[in-house]
Structure 1
Amino acid sequence: MMGIHQSQLAPAANKFHVGNGDDGKHYWLTPPDIYRALDVRFSFDFDPCPFPKPDGFDGLTCEWGQSSYVNPPFGSILHQGPGDKAPKKKGPTAWARKAIEEQNKGKRVVLVYPVDKWLLMLLAAGAKVENLGDVRWRATEDGSEGKGTGRHIACFILEPKDTPSAGLPGEGR
């Protein structure tokens, strides 16, 4: 029998909220040296994910500063916005949407979030990224259409790099 995927669990049961391993810790702050180096570059004036979080503070619905540092929860949280009748599970997509909303207001946002190393390698190599949506992959056995993963699939495109030309004899450089 297969277990339920973390994304289907209530936030209180999500692995990101029960702690890491035996120590049970699950609130992690940015190391001071990393924060200082980023602050020197970007002059932060706001943190929508402060610790400790003041009573009634809501980083997903408040106005952010001109230069915000965002170290959001790495899992999902229960969040009830102003228009929500009941709390909803919100994860990294909600923080990305809010960051883009603030950017569209002419503000700078520096959002940190764990990703796999291979993604950073592809981006550093100049990969272009396209969204293929929730692909309905085909079964190898009979070609039937699957249900999709419930996640969008990124398409990474690495174009050939220009190679320096040795030049033809007699060509000026």
Structure 2
Amino acid sequence: MLISNTPKSFKDRWQTPIEVFRALDAEFNFKLDAAADKSNALCKAFLTEQHDALKSDWNSKGAIFCNPPYSKIMPWVKKAAEQCKKQNQTIVMLLPSDTSTAWFYEALKTSDEVRFITEGRLSFISAETGKEGKAGNSKGSVLFIWRPWRIPGCWMTYVQRKELLKKGVNRDNRTPLPAQR
């Protein structure tokens, strides 16, 4: 079991690697970051802890990105499913790949697509130092995608980590990622 040395005040505030966000933004054109603070927000519009994203609506004129605190994932998964229907917007949530959890099964039941990031782990940006974590993430990562126009049934796809990062470096290319079945 990997024990984190991250102080509690920074533990749930790791930022998504910018190349990963850029690659996803090229595909989805995000308008709202639903779980952020001023130091790690990736969209102009974002919800902070003070906005309490779990109690407020995720009003957006476009797709919504969410890399929620990993200490309590289930409420975020339920909120994403609710807000997708209510806001009629696509929601993309970046989570640890842990199929043994109840939240994973809940996301699987309510989302449209599960996209596994294969062949490596993402290195998130520390809220404490502003630098990429040295050891990388303790688990692989997965994207859950809720789309309002699709019936939940969960399409499973994958994207190689290196392709995702490469796409994020080449941000001007706004074509979708090659999701593979």
Say yes or no: TM over 0.5. Answer: no
Rg comparison, structure with higher value: 1
RCO higher in structure (CA 8 A, sep ≥6): 2
- When you count strand as a share of all residues, which structure comes out higher? 2
TM-score normalised according to structure 2 size? 0.42
TM-score, length-normalised on structure 1? 0.44
